[in-house]
Chains A and B, each alone.
Chain A
Amino acid sequence: MNPSAQKVWNEANQKANQGRRFTIDPITRLEGHGKIDIFLDAKGDVERAYLQIPELRGFEVFSLGRPAEEMPQITSRICGVCPTAHHMAATKALDDLYKVEPASAARKIRELVYNTFVMEDHALHVYVLGGPDFIVGPEAPPELRNIVGVIQKVGLEMGKTVISMRRRLREMIAYFGGKVIHPVMGLPGGVAKGLNPSDLGRFKELARDNQGFAATTLQVFKDIVLKNPEYVKMITSDGYTHKTHYMGLVDKNNKVNFYDGLIRVVDPTGKEFAKFPVQQYRDYVGEHVEPWSYIKFCYLKPLGWTGFDEGPKSSVYAVAPLARLNAADGMATPKAQKAYEEFYKTLGGKPVHHTLANHYARVVEMVYAAERIEELLNDPEIVSKEIRTIPTQKPTVGIGVVEAPRGTLFHHFETDDNGIVTKANLIVATQNNASRIAMSVDKAAKSLIHNGQVTEGLMNKVEMAFRAYDPCFGCATHTLPGHTPLWVRIFDPQRQLVQELIRG
């Protein structure tokens, strides 16, 4: 760094540090910090702004030399936010590794547990993480924009229901897999524990209550969000809209499925672009690295890297609830299908390109998960003792996929003849979404920075732009100060840091 740039950097750094509030809340790790880099051109306008997605170091090195059977446990330990998604993707990769079809009852148990996890995680987001924006309202005073404000709005009884449903759903996950955070359930070809018929009654009761909970949530969302023209205007505003491709798992009827199916991609007009089994993901998902950055931006390989652009020729795609709805032809259960149709009617037809519609799409998916849980518990085979097909094939390559709450999650392992890992690769939902998230952050920054002048409101607008995706930084925070700190760095055309803004 040259001396003048060094001086600017030091001053900016000092100034930023003065502003730090020295409070610690280690639980901030859950959401992580948003680290945004903004590059200015010679005129001082924004050339490009990026959200840095923190990278986990050493995963492949850690995996090498370990038995593949450990991967469902190891990967579920990496991230405290999505343990069940990693566990299930790795378990399915093991099925593929040993070329074994899981026993029919085991497959149903996995799908039951998986839908329960999606239900619970979505409920947390609707009420706790997204709730402050949508239930309390983006314009509400800051002291009300939190979980306490959400409960005031939806009522104390509903608040208690949210907490108790979450506990009961997690108990069902734990019944099959032990600890929610470190599940021990998936084995190649099956699951470790079946459902005892004597326990079926209480789970069916949970499923009924859960259906009621999902229906109430949909009603709460309609009453509070959709009946407010201001919210609908914000959801559909240009600032939060990008016309990209969408990716999601679909069943044989092209209906949304979280656990299994083919990966379907639709173009920005909603037309099918590709449909393929996960084993071919390398043919469709490319990873582009910007020269200045360590982030990998996923894109649709057949189209080649087209840059951070939207439209029919762009290779950028999105995942997560909105993308799943767009990539499918509907929902496989009746109440969810009704909610799906209403979703598109409300937002002006398919596909919907408004990023903030993810919150609504999440509620539609909760309705589906609740119905699917009940269907699976009503299936007589769910209590079968035939829960394992013993693998007989030699392991080579195993690739698995699930729809994590935040989007498509790929696990890819290769082993030697003894099942010892020789190669490991994960593509997580936030990586799949990285290009589109970058575009949203860029759009916000461009509208707010001109001639090198950073206008007020940058932080809020930029933060809203990426928060809508619910990007998961699960493993990467550990910063003082306390509340989802936002860290913006601004670079001049020589790539020297000229300004740093930290808000805690």
Chain B
Amino acid sequence: MNPSAPGKQVLLLGLGNDILADDSIGLRVVQILRERRPPDPRLDFIDTCEMGLSLLDFIEGYRQVLLVDAVQTRQAPPGFIHEINVADLPTLPQYSPHFLGVGEVMALGRLLGLAMPEKFRIYAVEVADPFTVKTELTPIMEQALPGVLAHLDNALTEALKD
């Protein structure tokens, strides 16, 4: 799954759980944009339910990674996209060290001498219900989906110009 061939530069990586209602938003965005966008040899799409250390296997070798995931802050309306540059994330946690986040995965990869992305941006989509076991989005997320797709579609176009 890791690209060693030159030319594969940008990865759109969607995380989430496909049977936990809105938690699937990251997976859906990747699946839909994969179909919708014209094929581009520089661009790869991965949608996965894995997380933590497994991220290392996915991101290794890419120059740029755009990650889409669900988040619930209750401080923004469903569909709102919190954008974060991984460079701004704490790579070495001061508080609880007991899991691996994106910052730590990047730090670990570099320490082990693996090729880590130069650019890594997270698009955390505010969701309404990520806890109910079902395969459908909530109606409010369904409404917000086109906006989220347009946002990520543009972000990909910009990333490819880079």
Contact = CB atoms under 8 A, between A and B. Distances in A.
Contact of B19 (A77, A130, A145, A483): A77
Contact of B69 (A26, A57, A133): A26
A148 B15 CA distance: 24
Contacts of B104: 146-148
Contacts of B49: 77, 80, 181-182
A195 to B, nearest CB: 23
Interface string B32-62: 0000000000000000111111011100000
A144 to B, nearest CB: 8
B100 A62 contact: no
A24 B131 CA distance: 19
A19 B114 CA distance: 36
Interface stretch (B3-11, B122-130, B142-150): B122-130
B160 interface: no
A80 B50 contact: yes
Contact of B111 (A78, A129, A132, A151): A151
A504 B18 CA distance: 27
B157 interface: no
A484 interface: yes
A23 B51 contact: no
A467 B48 contact: no
A484 B71 contact: no
A24 B82 CA distance: 8
B75 interface: yes
Contacts of B90: 23, 482-483
B17 interface: yes
A129 B51 contact: no
Given A56-B133, A78-B133, A479-B73, A145 B97 contact: yes
Nearest to B75: A480
A193 interface: no
B118 interface: no
Interface string A178-198: 001110000000000000000
A303 interface: no
Interface stretch (A35-43, A156-164, A287-295): A156-164
Interface residues of A, number: 57
B53 A483 contact: no
B100 A30 contact: yes
Contacts of B30: none
Contact of B112 (A24, A30, A145, A156): A156
Given A24-B82, A27-B55, A147-B104, A62 B134 contact: yes
B20 interface: yes
A486 B17 CA distance: 23
Given A54-B131, A143-B92, A479-B72, A30 B52 contact: yes
B102 interface: yes
Interface residues of B, number: 53
B48 A28 contact: no
A57 B99 contact: no
A128 B56 CA distance: 14
Contact of B18 (A57, A77, A167, A467): A77
A74 B131 contact: no
B71 A24 contact: yes
Contacts of B107: 147-148
A324 to B, nearest CB: 22
Contact of A482 (B48, B89, B130): B89
Interface in A68-93: 74, 77-78, 80
A504 B130 CA distance: 20
A476 B72 CA distance: 10
A75 to B, nearest CB: 10
A31 interface: yes
A124 interface: yes
B98 interface: yes
Interface in A120-148: 124, 128-130, 132-133, 142-143, 145-148
B154 interface: no
B99 A27 contact: yes
Nearest to B129: A57
B71 A26 contact: yes
A81 to B, nearest CB: 9
A58 B134 contact: yes
A226 interface: no
B111 A159 contact: yes
Contacts of B127: 478
Given A129-B98, A475-B131, A24 B124 contact: yes
B38 to A, nearest CB: 28
Interface string B95-113: 1111111111101100110
B88 interface: yes
B95 A504 contact: yes
A132 B131 CA distance: 30
B73 A132 contact: no
Contacts of A48: none
A479 B96 CA distance: 15
B100 A27 contact: yes
B111 A148 contact: yes
B112 A160 contact: yes
Interface string B61-96: 000000101111101000000101000111011111
Contacts of B84: 23-25
A62 B55 contact: no
A59 interface: yes
Interface of A: 23-31, 54-59, 61-62, 74, 77-78, 80, 124, 128-130, 132-133, 142-143, 145-149, 151, 156, 159-160, 163, 166-167, 180-182, 463, 467, 475-476, 478-480, 482-484, 486, 503-504
5 contacts: A29-B69, A128-B99, A147-B108, A480-B71, A480-B82
Given A77-B49, A182-B49, 12 more contacts: A24-B82, A26-B71, A55-B131, A128-B53, A145-B97, A146-B97, A147-B107, A148-B108, A151-B111, A475-B17, A480-B73, A484-B98
